[in-house]
Amino acid sequence: MTKLKKKREKKQKNVLRDIDVSYSINLPSYAKNIILCLLIILSVALPYYYLNYAFSANKYYSFPLDDPWIHMQFAKNFAEFGSYSYYKNELVTAGSTSPVYTFILTSGFLITKSEMPLSYIMGILFFLLSAVYFYKLSNDTFIKENWLAIAASLIFVLDKWLNFISVTGMETTLHIFLIIACFFYYHRKNAAAFALTLGLTIWTRPDAIALFFAILLDYFLLFYLKKNAPKENVETILFSKQDLMKIGIITGTILSAYFAMNLIISGTILPNTYGAKVSYYSAEFRSRADFLKIEVWDYFTESAYMLLIFPFALAVIKTLTDIFHLKYNRNFLAVIFIFTLIFIYWYKLPYAHRFGRYLMPVIPFYILLFTYGSREFFKWFSKYLADKNLINGLNVMFLAAVTIYFGSSYYKNKELYQEQCRHIYIRQVLTAQWLKNNTPENSVIATHDVGAIAFYSERKIVDIVGLINPQFIPKLNTKEFASFVKEELKKQNVTHVAFLKEWFQVVNQPVLFKAGENGFEIMEVYEYFPGKTHILSVEVNNTLMYAGELLAKKQFQQALNVLNGAARADTNSSLTYYMLAYAYGILGDPVNTEKYLKRAIGVYPGYKEAAAILSNLYKSQNKIPDAKNVLSNYLQLNPSDTSVSKMLTELSNSDSDTSKVNK
């Protein structure tokens, strides 16, 4: 046993032998444990502060995203009905991006029905585990320079986005934990733990394929060095044949189960969410160039991240230089993972989603490589300053400044968390509550944001962007989409629709409920009448949104050109004619203002705003009978509208007074 232990210790040293110990500062075990306890406390206290701040301001708990309720809806139904479904024991579908996270929530629902504390606890717990394993991974990277591992870990737990995402109810911190643990066990050559964590990363997000590719490339490099760089002696950092068989069996079994589950449920080896998001957020949604500029460069150089970019670049250069000179550098795996994940999104889905959450798994390795690059920079700088204590002092000061800046960014980000929790609550949650209280239990709701609406309304949902209903996916971003939606909503017996205006918009009928503020992302609920309810096509709706931006900028002539194009594309949109009338009214053209108001009312006789403006136009032209006629026609359809009745009464009284004066 003694010989075996010594052999393992020697193997471990060989795994980490690329570490430079020129500025060695090591800590005793008890000190490392104290640091670990501090990191654990911070990883709980910091995200909890976000929760407490948001609740103090909003007076309710919420999430800054709608997606968490998707996981909870699946988990709740699985706990109650034993069915991987989205409505009671019906609508079985592979609509969860992260089945393993859904199963974890399911076990939680067997204990408690309080969905918010359950989600918060899960997110913070996995953030805590991420911090623990990141500290372990950092200690292995800086094996005799624990102060660098401490600095990297403090920056990690202070990161504003990792704290933010830990209290969003999403699977992200679970995914990050598994990736970090996978890195750790890979470098430690713990075959079973490595295989388990590697397999489970796919169960948390399908984009974990980037990790598989990075590991294969890193291991291929080790084989190459074994043959071409004998001085490197990489034999000791390769898995044994028995370990490789173990990895193949464990990871293969986990992957086979994942693909089989999706195939049985939805007929594809990946969840519906993959196909839906790739189809919807295609390169037409956001160009690949914009993705690299906005979602990658701007994101990873914003605020405190700006201090990381130069040392990170140095780390990448140093790592690739080592590889070029046939010297193994353990950071190669982190470099390949970062660029592979970015490449996958650039190529397949150039959109990192709100708060950049699809790219958050690279943040730990961005921080780790930054710390490594910082050390390499000061190591180079030591050639010009012979005083090692001074060099170490400068490095400590730099890392301390970065840590403080990260703490400042973390503190400021609390307001964004609070505001976004409010944003989602007053749109999705309030809409769901209205639907529950104002629609029959057998109602069927068509929407595109299926999380909170499904969870709190307790109504059956039809998801027109395909996360839950995959039949919509092939039609997304096609000319047939609008007609297909009409057919499918009729087939699914939809009774109501709930849309954010920026996504889909209903025209030519009154809205039942509105939720939102500041004119941005207003959720509207309409009753759905097959063959009558008019949903604007995505193209026409986007055109009207663009025209609205032009009108706000007072670019009226350009807005008119855009609106005329929309009118030609859809002759049955009262909103388009109303916006044309508004533009002509601003330009002082009463003839065209009247023309398009009459067209708007012709398409939608119950258009209150158009009727009121047309009546006022006639009144300003002293065409009182015409003004009264417009309001009277509207009231025949809407006799209970007291505000318009009051307008007509005032108009009649004004006309009577005018007649008396004339007499």
Q: How far does Cα 561 stand from its chain's mean position?
A: 35
Report the 10 Å Cβ neighbour count for 404: 13
H-type alpha helices, 59-145:
68-81, 99-109, 115-141
For 75, how many CA atoms within 13 A lie in the half-sphere containing its CB? 29
Which segments of 344-397 are extended strands (E)? Answer: none
What pLDDT score was predicted for residue 284? 58
Q: What is the pLDDT of residues 105-115, one digit of tens each?
A: 999 999 999 99
How far is Cα 632 from Cα 648, in angstroms, rounded to an integer? 7
How far is Cα 603 from Cα 426, in angstroms, rounded to an integer? 32
What pLDDT score was predicted for residue 549? 93
Whether 199 contacts 254, CB under 8 Å: yes
Which residue type does 307 have? L
* Burial group, residue 188, by CB count within 10 angstroms (0-12, 13-18, 19+): middle
Q: What is the pLDDT of residues 583-617, one digit of tens each?
A: 999 999 999 999 999 999 999 999 999 999 999 99
Which tokens hold the place of 348? 């397949």
What pLDDT score was predicted for residue 33? 84
Ranges in the chain, pLDDT < 50: 1, 4-5, 8-22, 659-663
How far is Cα 27 from Cα 22, in angstroms, rounded to an integer? 16
Which residue type does 217 have? L
What pLDDT score was predicted for residue 383? 74
SS3 (DSSP) at 504: coil
What pLDDT score was predicted for residue 569? 94
Residue 576, H or E segment: helix 574-586
How far is Cα 69 from Cα 176, in angstroms, rounded to an integer? 20
SS3 (DSSP) at 534: strand
Q: Is the pTM of this model over 0.85?
A: yes
Which tokens hold the place of 236? 């000791």
